[in-house]
Structure 1
Amino acid sequence: MGTCKHCGITIHDNIKVCPICSHSLEMDGTEENTYPEIFEKLRKKNLSMRIAIAATLVSCILIIILDYHFSAHLDWSVVGIATLIFAAHTMYSFLYQKRRLFSIISGLLFRLAILFIIVDYVIGFYNWSLNYALPGLFILENINLICFVFLDKKNRKSYVYYDIWIVLSNILLLILEAIELIQLKFFVTISIQTSIVVFLCLLIIGGLSARKEFARRWHIRKK
């Protein structure tokens, strides 16, 4: 069991870093006799992942067979397989990846955007994935960042880097709007404005350390 002094939380699992801020945990010395328990947890984790992979493979094969038998096309198979792969990869991310929880959730939202686009394409590409889902996921990304800024108070400045990429990623929405793949400008405007407001608030709330982090990332030096 360990304690994160930055976040003020206690972690009961046998990990060395905080899942929120990635700082080292202070161990309380009770882990000496926990090796059998740790091994059992790891064994169960590995077994769960193997079962999930096997179930995903079997389900993919069944989906292809059924789709081909009933429709002679494989359009819906693509949707089913993409959904199963998304679910399996999400499970893997939460079980094994050592990155910050914020990064894992960001990756989840990115994969979700790809899944929505695939589904939209298969059913006829009515552009709902670009008009509604994509801007909505950018807004959710900002909400995700805001939550972790307040949860990880001691490490706020590090989120400036992530927020810069969120702001820059909104350029994709402008490009899609320019080539008329996105027709609803309202949601694009909301997404971009939300990203800019969150970025400015982060610089203000983070104080001098956040502004220094921004300058460091962009190699801005005072003359």
Structure 2
Amino acid sequence: MRRCHHCLVDVEGNWEVCPLCGNPLLGTEKEATPSPFPDIPLTFKKHLAIKILSFISITVVLVAFLIRMIWPTKLNWPLMVFFGALSMWLVVATIIRKRRNIAKGIVYQIALLSLLSIFWDYTIGWRGWSLDYAIPLLCGTAIVAMFIAVQVVKLEVRDYILYIVIASLLGLIPLLFLLFQWVSHPFPSFFSVVLSIIMLVGTVIFRGGEIWAELQKRMHL
């Protein structure tokens, strides 16, 4: 079995370099031995995910209705919250179906859907809804969806930790909208920024060591 002296792990198969850091492996192919551990497929608690999503969706929609009853506005808050909850359902459904690359898929979805929303907004005459609502809600619901997915799907820390940081950093993009006054309705952007800061701070406090170790492996430090 070949060994990477940088990552301090044994690598099976015909690898010439370490799949984690890219450094050359020591040892010979003849020494390769089968793994004594069975290959257990990734599992997840589907019913738990549905219960959590249902509770969050119903709660936020009811709160939106209550807020509109107390402070009536022209803006249809319940409808906007409903679309946000629907986005969260779609994101979680997608990542459960593609759960081998959950965190990476969420980051791609944030970037792709944000660009699409700007394109659609520009195409119909630029009403500003993409900056006011679409991008902040996408970032906020994606961060929540990623947190739920990590809790209900059995993942290794290295499989999601960097993508949580990236998603949280993307969630800070609406801060630019606030600073440059590009939005007419600042609450969604404010929500996304606060949620991102909470996620970043929590991740650094509780998983700072894993983040640094993963950066060292991926950037060959």
TM-score, normalization by structure 1: 0.47
Higher helix share: 1
TM-score, normalization by structure 2: 0.47
